[in-house]
């Protein structure tokens, strides 16, 4: 796929995304606070998008800052983030992350991949969400939607998320790095689904080679 087609695809998706009621858009509208974005990204790992939106809203109606978590128990946090995937493990990670941010970073969320990866529960996807969405850095978060759709469109030919991230950094215009994750997540939540994608409703169908798509949604 050439650079001109990539730009056109992204422009179309950006225009069409205003029509989509996708959970990821709700999450972004609710906060740009670095700490809340970080914790929300930790919660989102291996969790359905709709559940993440509900859990994040409930959690931050009770707590606002890293220090608020330290007055709570892991059990209390776990009950607030249930039923997200691995909620007990994530409660422990959230506690550890809040403590590390306070003790090692003066209450500020780190701005580098190296320091973010030292936080409990933070992998490359979570770190890249923070770096791109909050700090505007050259980073692309590759979650299940981004990985699937990037391969489906032929933007990359990757077997692992880390390989997709590396390839996307090469082929995507830098001006799109910050928006790319949210754009493809919203697209994946509403139209380009894992099973039976809505190809008949897809605004970029003419550009898509549909790599790996076996069944198209017709209803």
CA distance 99 to 69: 8
The model's pLDDT over 109-140, given as tens digits with 9 standing for 90+, comes to 999 999 999 999 999 999 999 999 899 898 99
Determine whether 200 is an active site residue: no
Task: Determine how many CB atoms are found less than 10 A away from the CB of residue 69.
Answer: 26
CATH number at residue 168: 1.10.1670.10
Number of domains forming the structure of the chain: 2
Show the domain range for 186.
1-20+140-219
The model's pLDDT over 136-194, given as tens digits with 9 standing for 90+, comes to 898 999 999 999 999 999 999 999 999 999 999 999 999 999 889 999 999 999 999 99
Residue pointed to by tokens 């978590």 = 69
Determine whether 160 is an active site residue: no
Per DSSP, 213 falls in state: -
Whole-model pTM: value is 0.88
Residue closest to 138 by CA, chosen among 127, 147, 146, 149: 127
Q: Are residues 128 and 35 in the same domain?
A: yes
Q: Are residues 123 and 148 in the same domain?
A: no
* Catalytic hit among 125, 163, 170, 198: 125
Report the C-alpha dihedral over residues 213, 215, 216, 219, rounded to 10 degrees. Answer: -160
Q: Are residues 132 and 169 in the same domain?
A: no
Report how far apart, in Å, the C-alpha atoms of 104 and of each of 63, 100, 101 are. Answer: 21, 5, 6
């Amino acid at each position: 796929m050439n650079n001109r087609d990539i730009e056109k695809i992204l422009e179309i998706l950006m225009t069409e995304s205003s029509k989509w009621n996708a959970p990821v858009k709700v999450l972004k509208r609710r906060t740009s606070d670095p700490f809340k974005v970080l914790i929300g990204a930790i919660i989102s790992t291996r969790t359905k998008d709709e559940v993440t939106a509900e859990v994040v809203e409930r959690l931050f109606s009770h707590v606002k800052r890293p220090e608020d978590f330290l007055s709570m128990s892991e059990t209390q946090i776990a009950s607030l983030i249930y039923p997200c995937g691995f909620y007990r493990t994530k409660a422990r990670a959230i506690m550890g992350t809040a403590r590390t941010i306070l003790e090692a970073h003066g209450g500020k969320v780190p701005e580098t991949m190296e320091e973010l990866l030292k936080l409990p529960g933070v992998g490359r996807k979570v770190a890249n969400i923070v770096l791109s969405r909050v700090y505007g850095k050259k980073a692309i978060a590759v979650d299940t939607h981004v990985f699937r759709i990037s391969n489906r469109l032929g933007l990359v030919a990757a077997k692992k998320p880390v390989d997709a991230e590396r390839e996307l950094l090469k082929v995507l215009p830098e001006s799109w790095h910050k928006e790319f994750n949210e754009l493809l997540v919203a697209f994946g939540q509403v139209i380009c689904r894992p099973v039976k994608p809505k190809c008949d409703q897809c605004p970029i169908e003419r550009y898509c080679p549909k790599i790996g798509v076996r069944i198209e949604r017709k209803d």
